[in-house]
Amino acid sequence: MFLFIGLVACVKPVFFIPCLCGPRLYANITEPDLHSECPEMNNYQFWPIDGQLQSKYPDCYGKLMNTKYDETTRRVSPLQGITITSEPFGDYESQYSFVPLANELKKQGYQKNVNLFGALYDFIHYPLGLDDFLNILIQKIEEAYKVNSEKAVLIGQSLGTHFVYMILTKWTTKQWREKYIDRAIFVAPAFLGCFNPFDEFVQGWFSNLKVTPGVTESARRMTACQVLATNYVVGENSIVFKNSEDPSKSVKAPEIRQYLIQNKVLTDDNIKIFDEIETILKEYPTEPDVPSLVIYNSGIDTKVAFDATEGIDKLKYIYGKGDETCQSEGAEWVCDHWSNVKCFDAKSSSQTYEHISMLFASDNIQRMIRFIDNNNVKKPRRPKIF
């Protein structure tokens, strides 16, 4: 036996789950005959966007970003002959928006892959295609508890807030959470609706990709964008598609499915995919059974709805409160309806508090550290025998 002695701060393990488009993604093409639009790929990094790949193989991204639906399992996955991975579990250095907070935590004794973890995932197929990754995340949280003798803090950013929310309300048991989860932080929350990715889904574009028929098809099948439509309870009376000439034809959040089918945004098995997502959109936003911190901004003019008076092909934008990417409606609902929650609304037009940058705003970093540190007692750990 070896006696391993180290002074390790007794801190709560922190797990960071990033935003849509945040994680690097790598592709393997195992059946190239099915995907002649792409070059040979063996652990090929295609996200963030590879300009050279996009230029030489303009139809390849439509393949890499697409989704296959399995009616038996009711899950989604990459197309046959394509596998997608992200960075090894624990990596966070590739997430520039989280690094400043991570650096501050390291000053308090945090160590990568001991009590500081990034959880980078295949965002394209969230939430219906990540069963294996979810199992890994749960395992890592349990292992961190054994090592640190402390419950974990989950931090989600944008789409990552949806991931955190689902872990805390649907994908784990109350008994498991009582043992392993201390609290949660929702930064730039998108889990009850975020207009920008919903816009991508409706109009068939994605990020800065050149719009091709394949990209449009992929965007309209992307569950990560669909699930960020406005929650039907929160948006019960919120108009998503406004008709200025005939208000009776305006479409509220719970009515979007039929409108999208009528206007051929949802077709064929896209409808089946959306039906799976709609079960999530219909649910009342259950409050997690752990303390929560919500950090958002309502101070920037943000796209919040469509003016569809001239039809689906001539959509215009309606602006409201938000952080430039997500409307603040969902965060405001949470802060009004949940009881064990602390909220901070920057109410600022500054770029410092835009959707991504608010995570590394200096005051928000301190705000998160105070929330994480609640009841933390830093003291040397007892030696562990291996």
pTM of the model: 0.94
pLDDT at 4 over 60: no
d(CA 84, CA 305): 32
Q: Is the dihedral of CA 351, 124, 286, 178 positive or negative?
A: negative
- Per residue in 173-218, pLDDT (tens digit) is 999 999 999 999 999 999 999 999 999 999 999 999 999 999 999 9
- Per residue in 163-175, pLDDT (tens digit) is 999 999 999 999 9
- What pLDDT score was predicted for residue 378? 42
Domain 14-373: which CATH class? alpha beta
Q: How many residues does the chain have?
A: 386
Do 9 and 23 touch, CB atoms closer than 8 A? no
User: 218 Cβ partners below 8 Å, 6+ apart?
Assistant: 61, 62, 65, 66, 67, 206
d(CA 190, CA 355): 10
Single-letter amino acid code for the residue at 17: I
- The predicted model gives 255-261 an average pLDDT of 98
Between the two ends of the chain, the Cα-to-Cα distance in Å is: 6
d(CA 100, CA 360): 6
Which residues partner with 341 through β-bridges?
Answer: 292
pLDDT at 283 over 90: yes
Cβ neighbours of 106 (radius 10 Å): 12
Going by C-alpha positions, the residue among 328, 368, 319, 352 that lies closest to residue 188 is: 328
Sheet holding 152-157, edge to edge: 116-118, 14-17, 152-157, 181-187, 292-296, 341-345
